Amino acid sequence: MKPIDFWFSIGSTYSYLTVMRLPEYAAQQGVVFNWRPFDVRAIMTEQNNIPFAHKPAKSSHMWRDIERRAGKYGLPIKVPVPYPLEELVFANQVALLGMREGWGQAYTVEAYRMWFTEGKKAGTEANVLECLKRIGQDSVRVIKLAHSPEIASALVDETTHCRELGIFGAPSFVVDGEVFWGNDRLEDAVSWRKNGCVR
């Protein structure tokens, strides 16, 4: 079975639910997910897609909804968390480097855990340092490399690719050109891969 592209951006709130449950869910379903970080803020800004800023009723529901759903999935959570992330781009540059080197999932899961259970914003130099230490990576080496023009440009390229696919938010799953947006569509994406339709 071909993998499903899992497009995510550390900085998206609902992605907490997906990132934390995906490793186990993927194994249960026997489906491989290709974790691909991108810069969701660049895309949303250019599309004038600003879902929460200056929308108190919608924001308030978002935190409560994520909290209720974390309960459903058995995930620890302490909301609201500090939001938005100033260092979204750097947080995802580290993730992209990690995906190349094989520790990207561990980093992403730990970055979300720190953000959603300890209130530590992903992407700040101090928090990236701590996150990398927790997963056993050499922080100094990684941080230097993640700042390199090559990694910065690779994240821009992935974001361009997202735009061409019709992605407008995170998380998104892409199966044979079908875009499924949101944590709520993880099951639909798997159904599409297995059955060619949503069941």
For a second copy, the binding residues (CB under 8 A) are 47-49, 51, 54-55, 57-58, 60-61, 64-65, 68-69, 71-72, 166-169, 178-181, 184-185, 188, 192, 197-199
Reading the block at residue 50, the tokens are 């600003």
| Min separation Cβ 71 and a second copy, Å | 6
Pick the closest to residue 132 from 122, 121, 142 (CA basis). 142
DSSP state string for the chain = -PPEEEEE-BTBSTHHHHHHHHHHHHHHHT--EEEEE--HHHHHHHTT---STT-HHHHHHHHHHHHHHHHHHT----SSPP-S-TTHHHHHHHHHHHHHHT-HHHHHHHHHHHHHHH---TTSHHHHHHHHHHTT--HHHHHHHHTSHHHHHHHHHHHHHHHHHT--SSSEEEETTEEEESGGGHHHHHHHHHHSS--
Indicate the residue among 39 and 188 with the shorter CB distance to a second copy: 188
| Min separation Cβ 190 and a second copy, Å | 13
Indicate the residue among 146 and 186 with the shorter CB distance to a second copy: 186
Reading the block at residue 103, the tokens are 């520790």
Indicate the residue among 51 and 76 with the shorter CB distance to a second copy: 51
Indicate the residue among 78 and 147 with the shorter CB distance to a second copy: 78
Indicate the residue among 4 and 111 with the shorter CB distance to a second copy: 4
Indicate the residue among 140 and 198 with the shorter CB distance to a second copy: 198
Reading the block at residue 162, the tokens are 């997202």
| Min separation Cβ 154 and a second copy, Å | 22
